[in-house]
A = this chain, B = another copy of it.
Amino acid sequence: MMKKITTNQQDDLLPEYNFDYTKARPNRFTTTSEKRGNSAMDKLEQYRNIVKKILTEYYEMSNNQTSKNSEFEVSERLAIDENRDQYIWFRFGWEDKKQIQHIIIYLTLKNGKVWVEEDATDLCIVDDLLSAGIPQNDIILGFHHPSKRVFTEFAKA
């Protein structure tokens, strides 16, 4: 019934952002969904699942490496709010006399796009988002100042 749109934008993406597809862990974060309908809702749900999966995996990976210490010390925390589409992995706690609050990775979904609001890691989450099937024009590099986003190949908003 609906006209099926078959764009193949994969080929003209990458000039500025050097994502080496040959090194990509193949579809590590893709959801189990088979070919589904094309509705915006499905897309949103798919993006949501990808974002949750990546962030949870990062968090668990990191927390397996660091030993669990006292309640009082700094620890990493994960907050996943699917209703408000807020996905935050952060450090919080007391380090000596100093209270630490530091966002490690922070993602949101807004208007059908994935915002990488903050990424203080070298985990290359954008690579993982791309490799999971989210196209470059649905990813916003929020950690860049708005004025700088126009110089990237990614979406501006």
> Which A residues are within 8 Å of any B CB, using their own CB?
71-72, 77-81, 83-84, 86, 88, 92, 94, 97, 99, 101, 103, 106, 108, 110, 117-118, 143, 145-146, 157
Contact A145 B71 (CB under 8 A): no
Q: Please give the distance in Å from A136's CB to the nearest CB on chain B.
A: 19
**A79-B84, A145-B97 known; A71 and B117 CB under 8 Å?**
no
Identify A146's interface contact among B72, B84, B92, CB under 8 A: B72
Report copies per complex: 2
Q: Which residues of B contact A146 (CB under 8 A)?
A: 72, 94
Contacts of A77 in B (CB 8 A): 84, 86, 108
Inter-chain contact B99/A101, CB cutoff 8 Å: no
Identify whether the interface residues of A are mostly helix, strand, loop, or mixed: strand
User: Shortest beta-carbon distance, A83 to chain B, in Å?
Assistant: 7
Task: Given A80-B84, A101-B103, output 14 extra A-B contacts at Cβ < 8 Å.
Answer: A72-B157, A77-B86, A78-B81, A78-B86, A79-B81, A79-B84, A80-B81, A80-B83, A92-B106, A92-B117, A92-B118, A94-B145, A94-B146, A101-B118
Jot down 23 A-B pairs with beta carbons below 8 A, ordered by A: A71-B110, A72-B146, A72-B157, A77-B86, A77-B108, A78-B81, A78-B84, A78-B86, A79-B79, A79-B84, A79-B86, A80-B81, A80-B83, A81-B81, A92-B106, A92-B117, A94-B145, A94-B146, A97-B145, A99-B118, A99-B143, A99-B145, A101-B103
10 tightest CB-CB pairs across the interface, nearest first?
Answer: A79-B86, A79-B81, A72-B146, A79-B79, A80-B81, A101-B103, A81-B81, A79-B88, A71-B157, A78-B84
